[in-house]
């Protein structure tokens, strides 16, 4: 079984408050993009889970969400056979693009198919929540409004056709640090999430990009000013807008013209501001089996 685990960006990320259990209440517009890790899952007569990863610094044991997803399914359904799993990572690690969550989502989907367990997408999403707040969305994919701690999902009208430039600087950001240091008060600038939902419904790309915003930038950018520099370069080279994804440090810019996007990609590479630079498009549900 071969699967693609697609990355996501946050077109809008708002934090409304903090719950008594320490989790933050969010309202986010999530978008899957055509950048993906590859997962190969194979049944084995030898019991247990064997996970191999193409990157030496990514754990290949219970510290990896793929391993934990496989364990969850094998224990719940008492699967007698073992699993050999190969994970080839291309999505930047610790980048605010839900790479680990998407890998876990792909593992759940793949094991469900491989063993013919017959779980619906909703049932897989319920299990995904036990692994992380982003995992249900990574099973659902497409354009969606995420609320609560990120687990309450509403499918939205798709993002209009565009080109998405991704730039990840050579820094790693702790999500825990960002949320711990986030201060919400009367001066906080909240993105217009409802306005973005309406613009998506109207198929208005400019209306979406004009309203893009991420409250976590108020924490991450002062600590890592290179994020602002990448945003500025993308906007200078033709992006309708640029934004940090998730808690960072990845930045994405949205372009309505492929040639402009390619030129901006070249400029960003030459600037050396970003260590990893990719050009992608939005992923929408309803693709081929190869997209699963």
Q: Is 106:5 a contact under the CB 8 Å cutoff?
A: yes
Residue 288's pLDDT is what? 38
Question: pLDDT-derived band of residue 257, with 50, 70 and 90 as boundaries?
Answer: very high
Burial class (CB in 10 A: 0-12, 13-18, 19+), 91: buried
Residue 19's pLDDT is what? 79
8 belongs to the catalytic site: yes
Residue with the bigger pLDDT between 291 and 177: it is: 177
Question: pLDDT-derived band of residue 161, with 50, 70 and 90 as boundaries?
Answer: very high
Residue 182's pLDDT is what? 93
Beta strands at 276-280 and 163-168: parallel, antiparallel or unpaired: antiparallel
183 belongs to the catalytic site: no
User: What's the token pair of residue 49?
Assistant: 């889970």
Residue of 14, 37, 103, 134 with catalytic role = 134
Q: Span 129-148, mean pLDDT? A: 95
pLDDT single digits (tens) 71-107: 999 999 999 889 999 999 999 988 889 999 999 999 9
Residue 185's pLDDT is what? 87
Residue of 8, 89, 168, 211 with catalytic role = 8
DSSP letters for 88-141: E--SPTTSSS-HHHHHHHHHHHHHHHHTT----HHHHHHHHHTT-TTHHHHHH-
pLDDT greater than 70 at residue 287: no
Residue 175's pLDDT is what? 86
Residue 286's pLDDT is what? 53
Percent of the chain with pLDDT over 90: 86
pLDDT greater than 80 at residue 120: yes
Q: Span 232-251, mean pLDDT? A: 97
Q: Which of 17-31, 64-78, 169-183 has the highest mean predicted lDDT (pLDDT)? A: 64-78
pTM for this prediction: 0.93
Q: Is 159:283 a contact under the CB 8 Å cutoff?
A: no
Q: Span 201-223, mean pLDDT? A: 97
pLDDT greater than 60 at residue 291: no
Q: Span 187-192, mean pLDDT? A: 91
Question: pLDDT-derived band of residue 186, with 50, 70 and 90 as boundaries?
Answer: confident
Rounded to the nearest integer, the mean pLDDT of the chain is 94
């Amino acid at each position: 079984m071969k699967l693609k685990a697609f990355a996501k960006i946050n077109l809008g990320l708002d934090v409304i408050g903090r719950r008594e259990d320490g989790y933050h209440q969010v309202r986010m517009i999530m978008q899957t993009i055509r950048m993906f890790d590859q997962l190969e899952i194979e049944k084995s007569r030898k019991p247990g889970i064997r996970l191999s990863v193409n990157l030496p610094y990514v754990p290949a044991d219970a510290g990896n969400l793929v391993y934990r997803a496989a364990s969850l399914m094998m224990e719940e359904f008492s699967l007698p056979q073992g699993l050999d799993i190969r994970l080839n990572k291309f999505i930047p690690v610790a980048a605010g693009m839900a790479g680990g969550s998407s890998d876990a989502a792909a593992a759940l989907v793949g094991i469900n198919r491989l063993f013919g367990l017959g779980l619906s997408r909703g049932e897989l999403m319920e299990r995904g929540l036990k692994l992380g707040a982003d995992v249900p969305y990574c099973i659902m994919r497409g354009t969606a409004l995420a609320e609560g701690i990120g687990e309450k999902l509403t499918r939205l009208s798709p993002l209009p056709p565009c080109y998405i430039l991704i730039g990840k600087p050579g820094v790693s950001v702790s999500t825990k640090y960002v949320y711990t240091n986030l201060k919400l008060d009367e001066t906080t600038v909240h993105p217009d999430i409802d306005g973005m939902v309406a613009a998506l419904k109207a198929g208005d790309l400019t209306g979406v990009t004009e309203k893009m915003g991420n409250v976590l930038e108020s924490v991450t950018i002062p600590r890592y000013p290179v994020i602002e520099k990448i945003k500025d370069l993308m906007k200078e080279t033709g992006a309708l807008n640029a934004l940090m994804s998730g808690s960072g440090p990845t930045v994405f810019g949205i372009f309505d013209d492929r040639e402009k996007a390619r030129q901006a990609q070249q400029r960003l590479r030459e600037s050396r501001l970003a260590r990893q630079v990719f050009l992608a498009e939005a992923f929408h549900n309803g693709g081929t089996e190869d997209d699963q």
